[in-house]
Amino acid sequence: MATNQMRREAAKRKLASQQQRRAERARRRQRVAIITSAAVVVVVVVGVVVLSTIGTGGGGAQPAAAPAPATGAPASIPTDIVPLPTRPTALPATVTCDYPAGEQASKPVQPPAGADISATGTVPVTLQTSAGTVPLTLDRALAPCAVNSFVSLAQQGYFNDTGCHRLTTSDGLQVLQCGDPSGTGSGGPGYTFNDEVFPELTYGRGILAMANAGANTNGSQFFMVYGNAQLPPNYTVFGSISPDGLQVLDAIARAGQNDANGTGDGAPNSPVTIQTATVG
């Protein structure tokens, strides 16, 4: 028969056992809480890393760096097209043009007629080049003798399959020069004609003008201004270049030139050929 002492001992053992079980349960809950907290921290860290990766591009390909400018390319090209100049005093409706013989022609061609040349209206001409199409508008009121010569040369196929031998890309002069079948910069059609200039002449993006070797030495060479052109009024302006044509010239300029004639002046890095010159 159990005594009071025995019952007290049994009660103590039961209480101790209960306390031990409660302590073990508490330790398990603590371990679970620690594991859960650690898992939450891991999830948060992973989320931050993922968000950071998405925000910065992560380990993926970085944006490509802008390509370096081509050798001899212009630092910048103006985008504003200048208005075509106008004569301070209009010419009569018709003029007489003289085309005296000069040095031997670089390509067989006949000089144009010079009597009763119209000094009114415009003439469309399309240069189909290896770099793209360059539409021009020739203005008889500005330079009837230059327009008459250019139209005659184009109709005779003089410009067909000829290279544009000079590209300038300096800040002060940005032009593409063409019209010499010899490609040397000294060739011409075998005749010359006088300048058609006036003191108010200025040059800029979109202007078409005659190249020359001095006063009254115009022939077949011409230049197309795609940017700046700080020049004295010594070059006959005879038309304009269309916006689409200027885009073609811009691409030619951005390909650069070889500085063969000095810094900012040489042959185009990407050769340019006038395949055809079509009037109308």
pLDDT tens, 214-249? 999 999 999 999 999 999 999 999 999 999 999 999
Show Cβ contacts of residue 194 under 8 Å, excluding neighbours closer than 6 positions: 98, 145, 216, 218
Residue 93 three-state SS? coil
Average pLDDT over residues 37-45: 36
- The percent helix, strand, coil of the chain (3-state, each to 5) is 30, 20, 50
**What gap in Å lies between CA 259 and CA 152, rounded to an integer?**
33
Residue 3: band (very low, low, confident or very high) from pLDDT cuts 50, 70, 90: low
pTM score, two decimals? 0.77
- Strands 122-129 and 132-139 come out as antiparallel
How many helices and strands in the chain, by DSSP H and E?
3, 12
For residues 231 and 203, is the Cβ–Cβ distance under 8 A? Answer: yes
Among 3-17, 45-59, 173-187, 192-206, the minimum mean pLDDT is found in: 45-59
| Paired tokens of 54 | 């998405």
Cα separation, 38 vs 178, whole angstroms: 77
Q: How confident is the model at residue 69 (pLDDT cuts 50, 70, 90)?
A: confident
For residue 49, the one-letter residue type is V
Give the DSSP letter of residue 209: E
- Residue 55: pLDDT over 80: no
| Residue 187 DSSP SS3 | coil
Q: Identify the pLDDT of residue 27.
A: 52
DSSP classification of residue 226 = E
Instruction: State the pLDDT at residue 77.
Output: 98
What pLDDT sits at residue 9? Answer: 59
Res 5: pLDDT: 57
Q: Considering only CA atoms, which of 190, 222, 212 is closest in space to residue 112?
A: 190
Q: What are phi and psi of 143, to 5 degrees?
A: -150, 75
How many residues can be counted in the chain? Answer: 280
Q: What percent of the chain has pLDDT over 70?
A: 76
